[in-house]
């Protein structure tokens, strides 16, 4: 296959971040971290099994998929890259929680302003009421 394919550290980071974003976009943060943590000790064996069982079928889907599959096997046979993926998924999840907290605080501030009477943003038929 592509035994001479070299994976640079930039390629590793790019692929790890792509996978972390995909996991996060589908909402599988907790489930993925749990599953990846469970199989982390077997990452090398899993990569070798993937090469043995999946590599013969990858050329069917094209050369880009075949090269990408080989790069994936090379990246995730190292435990430190598996740990980087877990960390990236956890960071994305934390960023989303922080963003939600900021938005929630802004909404709470708006409600407090409306109750104090500083802003009278009434919508619909309520804007005609004097109170």
pLDDT tens-place string over residues 81-125: 999 999 999 999 999 999 999 999 998 888 877 777 655 567 788
pLDDT band at 65 (very low <50, low <70, confident <90, very high): confident
For residue 50, what pLDDT band results from cuts at 50, 70 and 90? confident
Q: What residue ranges do the domains of the chain occupy?
A: 9-94
Between residues 44 and 116, the one the model is more confident about: 44
DSSP string, 66-108: HHHHHHHHHHHTSHHHHHHHHHHHHHHHHHHHHHHHHHHHHHH
- Over the stretch 1-26, which tens digit does the pLDDT of each residue have? 556 678 889 999 999 999 999 999 99
Q: Say which DSSP state 125 is in.
A: G
Question: For residues 87-100, b (16+ Cβ closer than 10 Å) or e, as one string?
Answer: ebbeebbeeeeeee
Separation of alpha carbons 30 and 46, rounded Å: 21
Mean pLDDT on 28-42: 92
What is the SS3 assignment for 38? helix
**pLDDT computed for residue 118 by the predictor:** 58
Residue 35 confidence (pLDDT) above 60: yes
């Amino acid at each position: 296959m592509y035994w001479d394919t070299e994976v640079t550290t930039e390629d590793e980071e790019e692929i790890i971040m792509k996978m972390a974003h995909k996991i996060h976009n589908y909402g599988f943060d907790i489930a993925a971290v749990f599953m990846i943590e469970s199989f982390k000790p077997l990452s090398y064996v899993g990569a070798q099994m993937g090469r043995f069982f999946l590599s013969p079928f990858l050329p069917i889907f094209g050369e880009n998929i075949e090269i990408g599959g080989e790069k994936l096997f090379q990246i995730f046979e190292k435990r430190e890259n598996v740990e980087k993926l877990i960390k990236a998924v956890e960071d994305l999840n934390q960023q989303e929680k922080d963003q939600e907290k900021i938005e929630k605080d802004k909404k709470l501030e708006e409600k407090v302003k409306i109750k104090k009477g500083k802003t009278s943003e009434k919508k619909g038929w309520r804007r005609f009421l004097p109170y």
